[in-house]
């Protein structure tokens, strides 16, 4: 179990503290929902969680097979619903991997990314297309 403490600091901002590390994170409401957009919004953190989870789980699999993924990037585009209730409807990802497209571990690494816990935790109605770009 991990404890995360969140404090509302006013003006639609929150401060979160990660219990084990004491690392801090700030959020702000997005501009399209009454905020100033001065930091990650809560739904931005969902997109961030997906991208970092896919990269991390892929890197764990790569490490087990002696493959270096340093330099891999993930770009996530978050789309919100136009109707109510307000919700994330699409998280489109592009992963750029600095390895050749014919890398022998390609299928294993892509499957690892798609098997990350955040990907599996999101509601099935959220579209989660992933484009893998092999650049080596």
List pLDDT tens digits, range 28-42: 999 999 999 999 999
In the chain, which stretches have pLDDT less than 70? Answer: none
Phi, psi of 68 (to 5 degrees): -95, 125
Separation between Cα atoms, residue 132 and residue 53, nearest integer Å: 15
The residues spanned by each domain of the chain are 1-40, 41-134
- Note the pLDDT tens digit of each residue in 94-111: 999 999 999 999 999 999
Correct CATH for 41-134 of 3.30.300.20, 3.30.1330.90, 3.40.50.620, 3.40.50.2300: 3.30.300.20
Single pTM value for the model: 0.95
């Amino acid at each position: 179990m991990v404890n995360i403490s969140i404090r509302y600091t006013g003006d639609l901002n929150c401060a979160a503290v990660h219990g084990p590390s004491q690392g801090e994170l700030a959020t702000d409401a997005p501009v399209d929902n009454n905020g100033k957009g001065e930091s990650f919004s809560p739904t931005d953190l969902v997109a961030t969680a997906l991208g970092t989870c896919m990269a991390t789980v892929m890197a764990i699999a790569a490490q087990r097979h002696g493959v270096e993924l340093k330099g891999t990037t993930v770009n996530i585009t978050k789309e919100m619903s136009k109707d109510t209730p307000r919700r994330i409807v699409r998280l489109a990802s592009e992963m750029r991997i600095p390895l050749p497209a014919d890398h022998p571990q390609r299928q294993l690494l892509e499957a690892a990314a798609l098997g990350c816990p955040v990907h599996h935790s999101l509601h099935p109605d959220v579209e989660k297309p992933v484009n893998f770009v092999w650049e080596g």
